[in-house]
Amino acid sequence: MSPFGDLGRTAKNLFAEAFFEAVDSVDKGLDPSNIREAYIGSMGFGGGQIGNAAALLTEHARMLHVPTRKVENACASSGYAFRDAYLAVKSGAADLVLAGGVEVMNDLSDVRKRFWLGVSGDTEWERLAGLTFPGVYAMMASRHMHEYGTTPEQLAAVAVKNHANGARNPKAQFRKEITMEKALASPMVAHPLRLYDCCGTTDGAACVILAAKEVARKYTDTPVWVLGSGAASDHLAVHDRESMTRLEATVRAAHAAMRGADLTAKDVDIAEVHDCFTIAEILAVEDLGFAKKGEGGRLAVEGTTARGGELPVNPSGGLKAKGHPLGATGAAQVYEVFLQLRGEAGDRQVPSPEIGLTHNVGGSGATCAVHVFGP
Amino acid sequence: MAGIVAAGFYIPRSAITSEAYRKAAGHFSGDGIAEKSVAEFDEDEITMAVAAGDRLLADVNLGMVHVLAFATSNSVTGAALVAEALGIDPAKARDVRGADAGEMALAGAIEIASRDEIQTLVIAAEAPRSDPSTTEEDPLGAGAVALLVTSEGVPWSGGPGPSQSAIRRKVGDVGAASVLLSFLTTLEPSKITGDIDVTGALKSREYVTYERYLAMRRRASPRGTEYSQGAYVSLPAYLSEKKARYRLVGEACTECKRVHFPPREACLGCGARSWVDIPLKRTGTVYANTVIGKGAAPSEFLEQQLATGDYATAVVELDDGPRITAMLTDVEPAAVRIGMRVRMVFRRIYAQEGFVRYGFKFAPA
């Protein structure tokens, strides 16, 4: 994984850094020419290379001639790239596959950036009602508060927790702890969401290499296994969904992933969930089955999801503090769980987790990919 | 005798006093004008004409309208759009322009009614388009009048001139709508279908400061948002759903009768792909809401936000069932609550590539 942040670097440069780190990290060595397929998540980094972006990225990572393609599902692009890579291995078509993602957004002018923000909601109806994603998630938050009494303090507690984790992650965009007071005093972006309820605009890249069961031990003695993969979609616009306080795509993707792994939510030791906004983490912990519907707001407040809690959520800092380079986020979640399960997460290491989960959402929940990992 | 059988009018909810205007602007040249009505940022001649027309048509069968005449003194071509927003065939619409466009349209309507029994919906609307820093702007108000003319109605006497009108004192100069608005106040309510109590409507207005007045006055062209470099809805794509956008017309599945709004390609209930138009009730309830602050507005709405500040957007649950996301207007954004009753209004949404996109918003019911 490249550093995440406002970096002044190009997409191919960030992607190459993530890719070569992945290759170099393989214990017994890996020749990139053995990679059979490449799946690259990206929104299109601000229009920089909309067509054939994957070829540009793999070419500059010196993977000339590999079958490559861009996978685009908004913020869930590389969650889906990872799933596609997993399915390629699982099908027996390829025994060594790359899943990655990249985004660069900070090089855009202000007006151009505003045309790229919110492109993954329903453009014809939600956007033309004046919304980008803060507004869409704000309405979901307003509804969650209305139905379940969720409070601004509970939202802020998610931000405080994730910033505390991000402070220990050398690759995070925001490496500063924040206080509840600071979060609650930050400017309102889209009522009831304040600045610290929202993730930033991030550049970055992440890569993961998947190997078939038969060949994995050629590369390492300590592989992390994909135990389950689930994905689902939903109405693009939130107004078309039956509920605005439940992401049906998350519920269904999680169900499929858990069934594949033959596990339940109780078995999960660590989770990287899609917290593009603080309300999104609250929805996620409910929809993934870690809390009852309506009670997700309590988890961060009570410390359950803190790094030392019963179920650490977003030990990397999450999208909130680590950063959210749209197309790279899903792969970066897998990167974190990989490190955590191997005990290689440094200052932010959770004590010996066995089962890890990643949860990657596209937009306001139109797409979702969930993966479960273990020994 | 040919004349008026039904009427409707629209005066924006905001007004400014000549005193407040003069104090802040340093000038106010409008003899006999004590206060004038002020259109919202998202209103213009077209939206006000639709509002006046909608009020008239609330009590009148659409089939009574043979011709629509849209009159304004400004260089605005809007008859076809006004017709579509009212559910009238745009082929029946014509524009009448000029300082006395309202009188010309009404006189023409009376002539064809008495000669050929052709029934005309005359709508005159006016909003200032001058430079707000000049004295030319001072007397200009905003408003619209709709009159339905048939071969048997209340004849038009010519009415009091706009300068003598008591209405002018409260509304300001409303150009092509002036004479018709004054005429409206002389009509005997029992002889006319529709609400014609203009004086009554002026009692519950909100008074704005001159600073707010300037914010509500749109400038000619949006800065920097003309050409999208990312999210984009083409004009043909936008207009392909205009019955939904202009009139809140949904679609009912012909097989299982399930109602969808906005339109979709296959019925969510049974999968059928054949539809019948169903105009939805234009009222609903706020289901979820937000106030869009700095940094959260798409580029298309940046100009509006810079001019008039944060705005409210909501998911509205329509009384007929479907939910839809919409901007709210004519409301203090912070005052919006889940459960608030709202009604649809036809407004300007945004401008891009030289075209104004019109559509629905919701206002407090």
Position B223: which residue type? R
Among A225-234, B76-85, B163-172, B320-329, the range scoring the smallest mean pLDDT is B163-172
Given this model, what pLDDT does residue B160 score?
A: 56
Q: Do B313 and A129 touch (CB under 8 A)?
A: yes
Radius of gyration of chain B (CA): 21
Spell out where B93-236 has E strands.
Answer: 93-97, 120-126, 143-150, 206-207
Query: Which residue on chain A is closest to B292 by alpha carbon?
Result: A190
Q: What is the mean pLDDT of residues B19-25?
A: 97
The whole-model pTM stands at 0.95
pLDDT at A114: 77
Q: What is the mean pLDDT of chain A?
A: 96
pLDDT for B158: 73
pLDDT digits (tens, 9 = 90+) for B293-330: 988 999 889 889 999 999 999 999 999 999 999 999 99
Distance from the Cα of A350 to chain B's closest Cα (Å) equals 35
Instruction: State the pLDDT at residue B296.
Output: 93
Confidence of residue B159 (pLDDT cuts 50, 70, 90): low
B120 and A CB contact within 8 Å? no
Contact A143 B288 (CB under 8 A): yes
Mutate which: A103, A123, A125, A146, vs B, most B CBs within 10 A: A125
In this prediction, the residues of chain A whose per-residue pLDDT falls under 70 are: none
What pLDDT does B224 receive? Answer: 44
Can you tell me the distance from the alpha carbon of A162 to that of A199, in angstroms, rounded to the nearest whole number?
11
The pLDDT of B202-222, averaged and rounded, is 87
For chain A, the distance separating the N- and C-terminal CA atoms, rounded to the nearest angstrom, is 22
Distance CA B70, CA A197 (A): 49
The pLDDT of B6-17, averaged and rounded, is 97
The residue among B197 and B163 whose pLDDT is bigger is B197
Tell me what pLDDT residue B225 has. 53
Q: Is the Cα dihedral B355, B358, B361, B365 positive or negative?
A: positive
Chain B residue nearest residue A136, CA to CA: B290
**Each residue's pLDDT tens digit, B115-156:** 999 999 999 999 998 888 899 999 999 999 999 999 999 999
Higher pLDDT, B219 or B88: B88
For residue A369, the model assigns a pLDDT of 98
**For A123-178, what is each residue's pLDDT tens digit?**
999 999 999 999 999 999 999 999 999 999 999 999 999 999 999 999 999 999 99
Residue B91 forms contact with A (CB below 8 Å): no
Task: Name the band, by pLDDT with cuts 50, 70 and 90, for residue B283.
Answer: very high
One-letter-per-residue 3-state SS of chain A: CCCCECCCCCHHHHHHHHHHHHHHCCCCCCCHHHCCEEEEECCCHHHCCCCCHHHHHHHHCCCCCCCEEEECECECHHHHHHHHHHHHHHCCCCCEEEEEEEECCCCCCHHHHHHHCCCCCCCCCCHHHCCCHHHHHHHHHHHHHHHHCCCHHHHHHHHHHHHHHHCCCCCCCCCCCCCHHHHHHCCEEECCEEHHHECCCCEEEEEEEEECHHHHHHHCCCCCEEEEEEEEECCCCHHHCCCCCCCHHHHHHHHHHHHHHCCCHHHCCEEECCCCEHHHHHHHHHHCCCCCCCCHHHHHHHCCCCCCCCCCECCCCHHHHCCCCHHHHHHHHHHHHHHHHHCCCHHHCCCCCCCEEEEEEECCCCEEEEEEEEC
Note the pLDDT of residue B353: 82
Q: Give me the pLDDT at residue B76, please.
A: 85
B219 pLDDT more than 80: no
> Which candidate from B294, B311, B315 shows the least CB-CB separation from A187?
B294
- Please name the fold of domain B3-216: Peroxisomal Thiolase; Chain A, domain 1 (3.40.47)
User: Which one of A144, A163, A324, A359 is the catalytic residue?
Assistant: A324
Q: Where are the domains of chain B?
A: 3-216, 235-364
Distance, in Å, from the CA atom of A320 to the CA atom of A201, rounded to the nearest integer, reads 10
The tens digit of pLDDT for each residue in A71-112 reads 999 999 999 999 999 999 999 999 999 999 999 999 988 777
CB count, 10 Å around CB of B194?
Answer: 24
Burial status of residue A293 (CB atoms within 10 A of its CB: 0-12, 13-18, 19 or more):
middle
Q: What percent of chain A has pLDDT above 70? A: 100
CA distance B131 to A151: 47
Q: Give residue B55's pLDDT.
A: 97
User: Which of B234, B259, B265, B290 should we substitute to test contact with A (largest number of A Cβ atoms within 10 Å)?
Assistant: B290
- pLDDT at position B229 is 67
Percent of chain B with pLDDT over 90: 83
Q: Which residues of B touch A139 (CB under 8 A)?
A: 288-290, 313-315, 325
pLDDT bucket at B230, cuts 50 / 70 / 90: confident
CA distance B256 to chain A (A): 18
Contact B315 A187 (CB under 8 A): no
The H or E element spanning position B69 is strand B67-72
Q: What pLDDT band is residue B166 in, cutting at 50, 70 and 90?
A: confident
Residues of B in contact with A127 (CB under 8 A): 231, 233, 298, 300
| ipTM value for the complex | 0.95
In chain A, which residues have their Cβ closer than 8 Å to the Cβ of B295? 134, 189
pLDDT at A123: 92
Residue of A nearest to B301 (CA): A130
- For the segment B183-202, the average pLDDT, to the nearest whole number, is 92
Give contacts of A238 with chain B, Cβ < 8 Å: 288, 315, 325
Q: How confident is the model at residue B164 (pLDDT cuts 50, 70, 90)?
A: low
